């Protein structure tokens, strides 16, 4: 391979999700000092030329980035090996620590797990953190999101097939009115909206979703401006669409640290549940196959691991 090609290969090895360990071993591993200096000089956003002292210094951001990318595979393995209950408990704890930008994960865990899985997560949370989930969610979150989030993590929804269509219809009407009156009363202060979303069974909510579309012509989540409420409805009523959207946002080269993490989270947590349906929906929405996109954007062991998980089901 010509050196230019090798340079390109190593640049590629470091760009994307994870690192291409093989290239690093076979190519970078055989470079002599001049070749490595050439690499440093050719990668100005990772190495800063110190003209005064005549060497190329690592950019701090580059060092941090490398750390995250090397460890991405390890994190995926650890998350995959963990008991699903512990997984979810840790995801919740991490989201609470990170703050409002991460609260979508709380919604995701609370709304896309089965009732027993959520109970399991609550038990694991006790074991790991000596507090209850609702205790920590309630005491960490002081703003308008608190009511909805506490209610969501505390739910133990009915999972049977019985749905009262009249009730679903009238609750669709309640939601429609609440949305129309959002300038008078913000949606996160509307106890009835929270009640419906946080206590009704998923089957019931899907009926509500259907009736809402009949009444207003739009999808319920499209009409909700508040992000948490939007996510709640998506997770409860159209989870595969929700997960496809999260994956799509994560499967880009230059994306922020937290969005990147959602790739691992979604694939690991759904591999045993509905990854097949998510794959189908992803293809439906974006006209490219999920494995293909992962192949494009992920690297090395991390990539192979993800592809393996995606191939299940």
Partner 1 sequence: NDCVQLIFDFVGWGTDEKGIIVILGHRTVYQRQQIRRAYEEIYQEDLVKRLESEIKGDFEKAVYRWILEPADRDAVLANVAIKSGKNYNIIVEIATILSPEELFAVRRAYLHRYKHSLEEDVAAHTSGHIRQAMGLVTSFRYVGEEINPKLAQNEAEILHDAVKEKKGSYEEAIRILTTRSKTQLIATFNRYREIHGTSISKKLVDEGSDEFQKALYTTIRSINDHIKYYEKVVRNAIKKVGTDEDALTRVIVSRAEKDLKLISDVYYKRNSVLLEHAVAKEISGDYKKFLLTLLGKEE
From residue 66, how far is each of 5, 52, 110, 121, 263 by CA, in Å? 22, 26, 32, 32, 17
For partner 1, the closer of residues 122 and 299 by Cβ is: 122
For partner 1, the closer of residues 65 and 174 by Cβ is: 174
CB of 97 to partner 1, least distance (A): 18
CB of 188 to partner 1, least distance (A): 13
From residue 118, how far is each of 76, 103, 112, 157 by CA, in Å? 21, 16, 9, 10
CB of 138 to partner 1, least distance (A): 5
CB of 134 to partner 1, least distance (A): 5
Rg (C-alpha) for the chain, rounded Å, is 23
For partner 1, the closer of residues 66 and 138 by Cβ is: 138
Distance CA 82, CA 62 (A): 30
Task: Write out the residues near partner 1 by the rule CB under 8 A.
Answer: 119, 122-123, 126, 130-135, 138-139, 150-151, 154-160, 162, 191, 195, 198-201
CB of 85 to partner 1, least distance (A): 13
For partner 1, the closer of residues 33 and 160 by Cβ is: 160
For partner 1, the closer of residues 201 and 264 by Cβ is: 201
CB of 200 to partner 1, least distance (A): 6
For partner 1, the closer of residues 130 and 166 by Cβ is: 130
Distance CA 47, CA 11 (A): 13
């Amino acid at each position: 391979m010509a050196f230019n090609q090798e340079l390109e290969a190593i640049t590629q090895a470091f760009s994307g999700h994870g690192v291409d360990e093989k290239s690093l071993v076979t190519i970078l591993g055989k470079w002599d000092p001049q070749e490595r200096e050439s690499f440093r000089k050719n990668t100005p956003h990772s190495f800063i030329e110190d003209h005064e002292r005549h060497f190329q210094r690592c950019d701090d951001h580059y060092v941090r980035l490398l750390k995250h990318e090397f460890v991405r595979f390890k994190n995926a393995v650890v998350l995959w090996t963990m008991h699903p209950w512990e997984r979810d408990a840790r995801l919740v704890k991490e989201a609470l620590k990170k703050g409002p930008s991460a609260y979508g994960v709380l919604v995701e865990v609370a709304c896309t797990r089965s009732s027993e899985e959520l109970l399991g997560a609550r038990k694991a949370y006790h074991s790991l953190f000596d507090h209850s989930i609702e205790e920590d969610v309630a005491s960490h979150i002081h703003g308008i999101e608190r009511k909805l989030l506490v209610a969501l993590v505390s739910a133990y929804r009915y999972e049977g097939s019985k749905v009262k269509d009249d009730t679903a219809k009238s609750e669709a009407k309640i939601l429609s009115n609440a949305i129309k009156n959002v300038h008078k009363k913000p949606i996160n202060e509307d106890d009835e909206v929270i009640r419906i979303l946080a206590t009704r069974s998923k089957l019931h909510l899907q009926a509500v979703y259907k009736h809402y579309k009949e009444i207003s012509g739009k999808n319920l989540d499209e009409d909700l401006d508040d992000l948490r409420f939007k996510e709640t409805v998506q997770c409860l009523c159209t989870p595969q669409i929700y997960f496809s959207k999260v994956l799509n946002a994560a499967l880009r080269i230059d994306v922020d640290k937290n969005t990147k993490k959602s790739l691992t989270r979604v694939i690991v947590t759904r591999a045993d549940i509905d990854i097949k349906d998510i794959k189908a929906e992803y293809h439906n929405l974006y006209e490219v196959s999920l494995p293909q996109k992962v192949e494009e954007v992920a690297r090395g062991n991390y990539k192979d691991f993800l592809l393996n998980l995606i191939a299940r089901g």
